[in-house]
Structures are given as C-alpha cells and as structure tokens.
Structure 1
Amino acid sequence: MSTADAVDREVAWLTSYGDGLPALLTANGGQWQTVQAYMPRTPGRRGSNIYVLRRSIREERFANVRRMPTYEFLLRLVWPLSSGSGNSEADQRAFDAAVDDVLTRIGGFPGDKSHGGRFRSVAESPRWIDVRFADPAITVPSEVEFHAEITYSADDIEITG
C-alpha cells in the first residue's frame, strides 16, 4: 500500500457488493452506472456517475520513526434528470436515495471503519462526512442533471521510516 493507490483502494470498497451494505453499481443491483477513480477527460453524460478524487494528503509524524498518511476524499456525484414525465422532484428524491446508499457504504459496518482492511479508519477523523448539493436551478437547465460532492477523510496504515 502507498499513498499512490489510496483512491483505487477506496473505489474497490465503494464497488464491493454482497456484503450486507448497499451495492452502488447498477451491475450489482445499485443505482450508479459508474464508480471510478479520477475524473475522465470527457465525463459521461446522462448517467449516474461517481468520480472518486483525493483532495489532499497529510502525513502526521509521531514517535520519530512512524508516520500516518491521512487523505481527504472527494466524491463527485452526477445524477441525470431522467423522469419521462419531466418530474424533477421525483428525480431529486431518487438522487437523495442514491446518495443515502453511498453514505451507508462509506459508513461501513459497525465496529469496522477500515473499509475491509484497506485503511486504518475511514470517515472517523475528523468525525464528519460532508455532502453538498449543487443548486438544481443552475445544473438542471444547463446540464440536465443534479450534482453533489461528498468529502470525508481516511487514515492510512502507519508507515515506518
């Protein structure tokens, strides 16, 4: 494990399924067509997409020879306006339900906040997960979709050195 593969490790957790937590990918019964590491050059349109990015890395040194990287993850969520009846409210409710599934998966299992051993802990320090929704009055007319961003932190395994 290294700081370079943290985003891929988080994507592996978010795309896991069959473990009792909500599956996110539509291929596994979830509501999201794509959960991928990093932002593509040309993001897909008219699809439900999650792009996993790393906003920052902070290394805390302690005991003179040990250090622990902490990441701030940023999930960019894109949800299409897809109601055939043009009912934006129904699409926003569906988006809220899909975001709730993401939050449940980020929260993980009671007693295990390591995302299956991929990190030391996730979404615990600092003790918050932040979800910010973009104003649909801006995103719907221009892009025919809803946007949100989720940020949270993950502490990595300690490094000696």
Structure 2
Amino acid sequence: MRRTGVRAALLPLAAGLLTLTACGSGTDSGSGTDSEGRSAPKLSVSGAYMPEPVTDDMAGGFLTVRNTGDSADRLTSVESAAFGEAQLHTTSKGQMRHVTSLPVPANGTLRLGRGGNHIMFLKPEHKPVKGEKVRVTLHFSKSGHVTVSMPVKATNFVPEK
C-alpha cells in the first residue's frame, strides 16, 4: 500500500480513538511535581454536553473538570472549529458575565453547568442539532490543552448526578 493509502486508512481509526478517549472516563493531563514537592495538576474531563440551541447565533456548553493533583490550574480559554468564538462565563445573581479564566482547584472540581459557570459558543458555522458531536479544545494555564467531543443533547436535557 502506498504511504498516502496507509495514512488515509488510519485517519478514521485515529478519529475514533480520539472520540473514545474524550467521551469515555475522561482525558488525563499533567504529571510530575513542583519545586515544593506538590504534584502537578492531573486533569480529567467528563460529562461534556451541549444542549441543542434554541437560537441560531449561540449555544452553551457544560462539563466537569476534575483535578487529582496537589496544584491548582485554570481553564483559560476554549475553542471549536464549529464556532467563530467561545467564551467562559460565570453567572451570579442571574447575571451572566464573561471571564478570562475559571479556577480548577487542587484536588478539586470545576463544574460547568446551567445557571453557573459555562461555555458560551458564538457565531456557529451551522446550528448544532441533537445527535451531533462538537469537537472542543479546552486550554489550561499549566496543563496545556485537552480536546473533548461534546455531544449535542435535547434542549431540556438534564444530566444524572
């Protein structure tokens, strides 16, 4: 088989493995210790989903980032080729506010959910519909980036706790 044939044959396999890793038990990131002997952030991402948007111009994204390391990290940005822009938001007293980062505490959890911290996706290439998956890259200040596949769920979807 020519080199291009092998590459073409392996692409679907690689894409499938990426989806399984990102959607399964989570994606791990980080290792080692800092100068004070604390373990670096060790991140896993789970529960990612996007409710089917009710408008054509924006969508929300929700997930959980678990850090089993002894050092905190920060979610600093999000990107997706399916959207022209993605922002981190927090909600307080019913008001959404764009923020530049969200903390991921040491040995703790950052939860992005309805009515609280979330991802706001703007300028979609097309309106995502239930059953599709949106590839999203999360950028962290210490742990680099983690790519997840975010399934589009029903508009009123509520995950089990």
User: What range is the shorter-chain TM-score in?
Assistant: 0.3 to 0.5
Higher relative strand content: 2
Higher relative helix content: 1
Q: TM-score, normalised by structure 1?
A: 0.35
